[in-house]
Chains A and B, each alone.
Chain A
Amino acid sequence: MPVTENWKPTIVAFCCNWCSYAGADLAGSSRLAYPADVKIIKVPCSCRVNPMFILRAFEKGADGVILCGCHPGDCHYSTGNYYARRRMTLLFSMLDYLGVEDGRTRVEWVSAAEGVKFSETMNSFVEKVRGLGPNVRLGDLRCRN
Chain B
Amino acid sequence: MRRIGVFVCHCGSNIAATVDVKKVVEMALLEQGVVHAEDYPYMCSEAGQSHIAEAIREKQLDGIVVCSCSPRMHEATFRKCAEKNGLNPYLVEIANIREHCSWIHKDMQEATEKAVILMRAAVAKVHLNAPLKAGESAVTKRALVIGGGIAGIQTALDIADAGYHVDIVEKEPSIGGRMSQLDKTFPTLDCSACILTPKMVEAASHENITIHTWSEVEKVSGFVGNFTVDIRKKARYVNMDKCTGCGICQEKCPSKKPLNEFNRGLNNRSAIYTPFAQAIPNVPVIDAAACIKLKTGKCGICEKFCQAGAIDYAQTDEIITQQYGAIVVATGFDTIKLDKYGEYAYGESKDVITSLELERIMNAAGPTKGHLERLSDGKAPKEIVFIQCVGSRCSDDRGKPYCSKICCMYTAKHAMLIRDKYPDTNVTVFYIDVRTPGKNFDEFYRRAVEDYGVNYVKGQVGKVAPQSDGSLLVHGVDLLENKQILKKADMVVLATAIEPNSDVRKIATMLTASIDTNNFLTEAHPKLRPVESPTAGVFLSGVCQGPKDIPETVAQAGAAAVKVIGLLAKDKLKTNPCTAKADELRCNGCSQCAGVCPYGAISYETRQVNDHGIREDRRIAVVNSALCQGCGACTVTCPSGAMDLQGFSNRQIIAEVDAICR
Question: Interface of A with B (CB < 8 Å)?
Answer: 10, 12, 18-19, 21-22, 24-25, 27-29, 31-34, 36, 39-45, 47-53, 56-57, 60-62, 70, 73-80, 83, 87, 111-114, 119
Contact = CB atoms under 8 A, between A and B. Distances in A.
Contact of B631 (A34, A40, A45, A61): A45
Given A43-B648, A48-B648, A74-B514, A22 B633 contact: no
A13 to B, nearest CB: 9
Contacts of B508: 74
Contact of B104 (A34, A56, A76, A113): A34
Nearest to A119: B104
Given A28-B100, A33-B106, A43 B661 contact: no
A139 to B, nearest CB: 12
B103 A44 contact: no
Interface in B53-71: 70-71
Interface string B89-108: 00000001011110111110
A40 to B, nearest CB: 5
B235 to A, nearest CB: 29
B662 interface: yes
Contacts of B645: 44, 48
A76 B598 contact: no
Q: Nearest 4 pairs between A and B by C-beta?
A: A28-B99, A48-B632, A60-B661, A77-B631
Nearest to B595: A83
A64 to B, nearest CB: 11
B653 interface: yes
Contact of B598 (A41, A60, A73, A77): A77
A37 to B, nearest CB: 8
A70 B534 CA distance: 13
Given A25-B70, A113-B522, A50 B104 contact: no
Given A76-B535, A77-B598, A77-B629, A114 B70 contact: no
Contacts of B662: 60-61
Given A29-B103, A33-B106, A79 B517 contact: no
Nearest to A37: B114
B451 interface: no
23 contacts: A10-B660, A12-B660, A22-B72, A25-B70, A25-B99, A34-B104, A36-B113, A39-B118, A48-B631, A48-B648, A52-B654, A60-B658, A61-B661, A61-B662, A74-B508, A76-B534, A78-B509, A80-B631, A83-B637, A111-B517, A111-B522, A112-B516, A113-B516
A114 B522 CA distance: 12
A51 B100 CA distance: 24
Contacts of B100: 24-25, 28, 40
Given A21-B72, A47-B596, A70-B514, 5 more contacts: A25-B96, A28-B99, A34-B104, A48-B631, A78-B509
Interface in B254-274: none
Contacts of A79: 596, 598, 633
Contact of A77 (B111, B522, B633): B633
A111 B661 contact: no
A57 B661 contact: yes
Contact of A44 (B121, B596, B631): B631
B514 A36 contact: no
B110 interface: yes
B514 A112 contact: yes
Nearest to A51: B636
A63 to B, nearest CB: 9
Contact of B660 (A39, A45, A78): A39
Interface string B625-662: 00001111101110000000100101001101110111
B656 to A, nearest CB: 5
Interface string B148-163: 0000000000000000
B578 interface: yes
Contacts of A36: 101, 105, 107, 110-111, 113-114
Nearest to A60: B661
Contacts of B648: 43-44, 48
B117 interface: yes
A80 B633 contact: yes
A44 B634 CA distance: 13
Interface string B468-500: 000000000000000000000000000000000
Nearest to B645: A48
A48 B101 CA distance: 24
Q: Which of A24, A77, A79 has the most CB of B within 10 A?
A: A77
Contacts of A74: 508-509, 514-515
Q: Which of B106, B505, B630, B653 has the most CB of A within 10 A?
A: B653
Given A43-B653, A112-B514, A112-B534, A28 B635 contact: no
B402 to A, nearest CB: 12
Contacts of B658: 56, 60
B522 A112 contact: yes
Contacts of A24: 99-100
B208 interface: no
Given A43-B653, A78-B512, A80-B631, A31 B598 contact: no
Nearest to A11: B660
B631 A62 contact: no
Contacts of B656: 41
A60 B657 contact: yes
A28 B70 CA distance: 10
Contacts of A76: 512, 514, 534-535, 631
Contacts of A33: 104-106
B79 to A, nearest CB: 15
A113 B523 CA distance: 10
Q: Which of B71, B101, B512, B650 has the most CB of A within 10 A?
A: B512
A75 B596 CA distance: 14
